[in-house]
Amino acid sequence: MFYEGREKRLEIIITGHNLLEYSESFWIEMVSEANTNILSQIKNKHISAYLLSESSLFVWHNKILLITCGNTHLVKAAQYFQKKIPKKNIISLLFHRHQAIQPNRQKSSFEQDSQLLTAILMVSLSTGEAIIEAIYSILQIKSLTPITNKS
């Protein structure tokens, strides 16, 4: 059995909503979209922290950080989140995904993820809908092959 331990990260910052007021069922559904589930939770008035079957979720009043590994699909969690939060309230969406050891075992490729994330945040200026400094940063860190001197 093979386990893909490469980390994937989704960070979303919003305005206009207090994420700490969202129900536990919202977070359960969101992480299930990523193909993981909540094992336990601790919280205080500043943060809720969830231990997941495939890593962690942290929720502040205006920000989430979802960190997973294995065969998860964070873009599906981002899609779910965006359906519940208007695009105009998303200030920043950061997605990090390292090169998988066995990419064929992942639910999607980096290219597919970046296309879907772009579609999630694309807003036509002709509609008058604006994203307040909405920024998405899609990063793929590839393994580097050392350059050898052939002389």
Q: Are 69 and 35 in contact (CB under 8 A)?
A: no
pLDDT tens digits, one per residue of 108-146:
666 677 777 766 666 433 333 333 233 333 343 333 333
- Asked whether residue 134 is domain-assigned, the answer is yes
Task: Read off the CATH number of the domain in which 108 is found.
Answer: 3.60.90.10
Is there a domain that residue 111 lies in? yes
Identify which has the larger pLDDT, 135 or 90.
90
CA distance 138 to 130: 21
Residue 135 placed within a domain: yes
What domain range includes position 102?
8-141
pLDDT of residue 18: 96
Q: Can you spell out the DSSP letters for the chain?
A: -------EEEEEEESSS-GGGS-HHHHHHHHHHTT--EEEEEE-SS-EEEEETTEEEEE-SSEEEEEE-SS--HHHHHHHHHHHS-GGGEEEEEEEEEPPSSGGGSSS-HHHHHHHHHHHH---GGGT---TT-EEEEEEEPPPPPP----
pTM comes to: 0.72
* Higher per-residue pLDDT: 126 or 106: 106
Overall domain count for the chain: 1
Instruction: Give 1-48 pLDDT, tens digit per residue.
Output: 545 556 778 889 999 999 999 999 999 999 999 889 999 999 999 999
- Per the domain annotation, does 148 fall within a domain? no
Q: What is the pLDDT of residue 83?
A: 85
User: Is the residue at 29 inside a domain?
Assistant: yes
Residue 2 placed within a domain: no
According to the model, what pLDDT value does residue 148 have? 41
Residue 108 lies in a domain: yes
3: in domain: no
